Chain A
């Protein structure tokens, strides 16, 4: 099956700093999503981005499907950005999502 690897596993930032999170996947995919799991455990949709580039406020994402990776950019980080960021890709056999292990982000004031 498809393997999804995220890096780095942990990241500590000072408020205001920028960061880049990476997601590598082992096969071609038709679906890729980024999620933020907040400290209360809620999964929040950030981007649905099987290819191309999207931006939403301080966050943006780029997926290069031919090279099998996606990047999530967080600019001017805030303490409320803390939590775990998951990349998930859809398998080509029916649409279930395969999750990476996540990047745990901690933003310090």
Chain B
């Protein structure tokens, strides 16, 4: 059974700091990994999708990396802003099976 872990559950940083959010998974036989953002009372917004054959994906100030062999992914946020405050979830997908989500990291960026 695939398990996805995101630690810590919450993180508070000052504005402008570069930060890394971690995601670990137990089964390395994945097809892709997706990072989402969720604002309070809202749905999940897709940030980045990394296919199993890729090592990283970038979008603006966000960079996600994937290391299948070690069962880890990181989401790097450069020059954090108060608007980045949200919960960040990672999810992994294996062939023909369920997408498994972590419980998320709640990020607070202090002005």
**A and B: interacting chains:** no
